[in-house]
Amino acid sequence: MMNEYHLADGSPRYGHRTETPTDQPAIIASVRVEEAAEGAARLGLDEMAAAIDKRLTSAWADRPDKSVAILREQNPEELAAARALVKVHLGSPRQWRMKAQTVRDKQLASVAARRKASGSAREVLALRLGLIVALIAPPAYVVATSQDILKLLIVGAICFVAALVGGHFLTIRARVPVMPSIRGPWLAELREDVVNATLVAILQNKGIAMSPAAAAAGRRGWTSIQEAAAAVALLRR
């Protein structure tokens, strides 16, 4: 069946096409091109943070792989298609992070329900309200009884420190796992890993020849993400 990716004779329209050497056979893929993008959309913040940590400590990620760079350079149309597909499933980097936050909230729903059933959630809520009142009352009193700016600044500084200390105490008291910090540049590296895996799947499904090493290198980042996610899932059991 002819489509936009094939010529009339059935050969691929785009990409670097050569006769495959006997020592570098073409790889026949069984994966769907959407596999990596769909999987990335299901990641929570904890899995995302674990994948970033794993990538940062992996020797293969210290510098770009040359074989992957060549694949991207020689197949610009497929690379653009891979980027478009990833964007459909993940949206912008900010939207992807928000999706991961939603996934994490669902993962912790059972924890929140358990806290609510035990009454500890009401206790933490009462402490939060008390902290808010304690932080608002002193500055309000200074404003109502005095016009001394210096006194107001001093009270404000004290309240700021109290807010930090009180917030830390409430976080510990609530016993909710700390929100992982996701840095934009490192998240962008994960996204490119998803793009690379999608690119390899597109090339394989179009029958464009590539070496097993190049295909493995293209999927290595996504494989690493999956391993990190599996490890986090194991910890939750």
Domain boundaries, the chain: 35-105+183-235, 111-174
- Listed residue (197, 231, 226) closest to 214, CA to CA: 197
Determine the pLDDT at residue 20.
Answer: 42
Determine the pLDDT at residue 151.
Answer: 83
How far apart (Å, rounded) are the C-alpha atoms in residues 174 and 237? 21
Q: Which residue has the tokens 């105490």?
A: 169
Largest CA distance in the chain: 89
Q: What are phi and psi of 154, to 5 degrees?
A: -65, -45
For the question of whether the overall pTM of this predicted structure is more than 0.75, the answer is no
How far apart (Å, rounded) are the C-alpha atoms in residues 200 and 207? 11
- Check: CB of residue 68 under 8 Å from CB of residue 211: no
Q: Identity (one letter) of the amino acid at 115?
A: R
Helix (H, G, I), strand (E, B) or coil at 236: coil
Helix (H, G, I), strand (E, B) or coil at 78: helix
Tell me the Cα Rg of the chain.
26
State pLDDT tens for residues 176-195. 777 888 999 999 999 999 99
The one-digit pLDDT tens for each residue of the chain (237 residues) are: 444 544 555 544 544 444 444 345 444 545 789 999 999 999 999 999 999 999 999 999 999 999 999 999 999 999 999 999 999 999 999 999 999 999 999 988 887 777 777 666 677 778 788 888 888 888 888 888 877 888 888 888 998 998 888 888 887 777 777 788 899 999 999 999 999 999 999 999 998 888 999 999 999 999 999 999 999 999 888
Determine the pLDDT at residue 30.
Answer: 57
Helix (H, G, I), strand (E, B) or coil at 6: strand
How far apart (Å, rounded) are the C-alpha atoms in residues 97 and 48? 9
